[in-house]
Amino acid sequence: MSESVEIDWDGRRVRIEHRWVEGPASAPLLVFLHEGLGSVAMWKDFPDRLCAACGVRGLVYSRPGYGRSTPRPPERPLAPDFMHRQAHEVLPALLVALGVSEPPVLIGHSDGGSIALLFAARFPQALRGLIVMAPHIFVEPLSVASIREARSAWEQTDLPRRLARYHDDVESVFRGWNDIWLQPEFEAWNIEAEIKAIACPVLALQGVDDEYGTLGQIRGIAQGVPQTKLVELPACGHSPHRDQPEAVIAAVGDFLKLL
């Protein structure tokens, strides 16, 4: 069951939907960061399965505008720095509001992985570890092409109806994500230089069949952050936790044992 907490952000009070996953009180805390169309509910039972298998606790939340969090006002479209603002402003405020004082482990998927990387770079001493699945560190033609295909699916299939089960304002969620990724100025988005400041251990996973990015994404992380362990998953697309959940759980378990 999800609950909510309010933070001050973007000149207003914002409600953040979140859910705790129980585990041993002394165990590490994993904070789950969802992808560009995700939410608390869209993780389904993966956080519970992962935490149970690894003997840790979890915190899952929906970013502002997503899930049951406060919808994004239509007059405030996403800007190219939207992931930076989530990493530098929203996530720190949420952790304070929830009383999280210990260094957690972040686990982020896609855009959530990029946000996790940016948080780790801005606050290098604030994390115990970092796990990213199919993150983006620069914009690739493959990503843009797949996001353009997603727009066609939105307009021509029942995708709006299916996504509406997970979001209070599904139109805002899809248009915000899709529009910003397809804006010409977003093509220059690149965080390769910033992530070199990351100090904690990193686990980076990606499917070899990822339709939203090449393996150059996680290999680029390893080049800039030497303490990165790479896992390239066969027969896996953009969502490793859905396509290869057991392999992800095993890799995360091995990683956590080293922290």
Domains located in the chain, CATH noted: 3-257 (3.40.50.1820)
**Residue that has been written with the tokens 């003997």 in this structure:** 55
Give me the residues paired with residue 15 across strands: 6
Which pLDDT value is given to residue 75?
A: 86
pLDDT tens digits in sequence order for the chain, 259 residues long: 889 999 999 999 999 999 999 999 999 999 999 999 999 999 999 999 999 999 999 999 999 999 999 999 988 889 999 999 999 999 999 999 999 999 999 999 999 999 999 999 999 999 999 999 999 999 999 999 999 999 999 999 999 999 999 999 999 999 999 999 999 999 999 999 999 999 999 999 999 999 999 999 999 999 999 999 999 999 999 999 999 999 999 999 999 999 9
pTM above 0.85, yes or no: yes
First to last CA, the chain: 30
User: Which amino acid, one-letter code, is at 29?
Assistant: L
Task: For residue 6, give Cα distances in angstroms to 2, 21, 96, 173, 184.
Answer: 14, 20, 11, 20, 34
Strand order in the sheet with 29-33: 3-9, 12-21, 57-61, 29-33, 105-109, 129-133, 202-207, 228-233
CA 182/CA 237 separation, integer angstroms: 21
pLDDT at 194: 98
Count CB neighbours of 182 within 10 A.
14
